Every structure is written in C-alpha cells, then in structure tokens.
Amino acid sequence: MITAVDTNIILDVFQRDAAHWMTSRDLLVECYGAGGIAVSAIVYAELARPFHHQTALDNALRTLNVRVDPITDDIAFLAGLRWGAYRAAGGGRSRILPDFLIGAHALACADRLLTRDRGFYRTYFSDLDQVGNE
C-alpha cells in the first residue's frame, strides 16, 4: 500500500513542530511499514524553502525513503476539474490549485493520503482514502 504524503506532515517531522512532530513521525513510520510513501512534485516544491539546497532536501527525503512522483497531464487535468468544481460551487481563494494537485496525485499514484487537512480532502476528494489528524 502506497501512501501519498501532504506537505504539512513532512514539515512537521523535518522542523520538529511542537504540536504535531511525534504524531506525524509515528504516522509516517506506520505508512512506510504498510508499503511505502510518496510525495508529488508539488509537495517537493513546497518543501524546498526550508532547505535552501536541493541536495539537502533530496537527502532528507531519502532518509525517510520517500519517492517523488511527477505531475502528469492526467493528474493535472483531474486537479483542474476538481478545482473548477470547487470554484463553481463558490469556493474562495483560500484553496489554491496546488492543494488539488496534491489530492489528484494521491488518487492517481497512491492508495491513500496522509495529511493533517483531512476535512478539505474529505470534501473535495471523497473517493480518496485518508489517514492522519484533522
């Protein structure tokens, strides 16, 4: 079972977030043990800022045995459709396209998504299995 991981979980672990570090670490270990973990190229981009050097980010992800997946045309199209439905339903600018790309990647390349933002993904990706905190 492959688990796609959202940016917030990885940052919790890398930055040892006081409120979420231990839970996120334990969930990552559990997901890795269940078959492996992956992030989308979008998550990879969101992780770049705290690292300053690509080699440092790559090494950090390697220590967690994280696979980085590209965003394909199919994933981008699915994300665009879901984002369009969100905007058509009156969704504001608080949710931006990268959130939808992360969800679409999880649907296309993984069996489930590990995130702390489960309410959003439950609403707009109800067909996606999730694990994590609210």
Model pTM score: 0.91
The residue whose two tokens read 């394909």 is: 72
Nearest in space to 106 (alpha carbons), one of 92, 121, 93, 87: 121
How far is it, in rounded angstroms, from Cα 24 to Cα 12?
6
Confidence of residue 134 (pLDDT cuts 50, 70, 90): low
Confidence of residue 84 (pLDDT cuts 50, 70, 90): very high
Mean pLDDT, to the nearest integer, of 42-64?
A: 95
Question: What is the pLDDT, as a whole number, of residue 16?
Answer: 92
Mean pLDDT, to the nearest integer, of 82-108?
A: 90
Paired with 69 in beta bridges are 40
Q: Where are the domains of the chain?
A: 3-131
Question: What is the pLDDT, as a whole number, of residue 132?
Answer: 75
**CA distance from start to end of the chain:** 22
CB 57 within 8 A of CB 51: yes
Q: Name the CATH superfamily, with its identifier, for domain 3-131.
A: 5'-nuclease (3.40.50.1010)
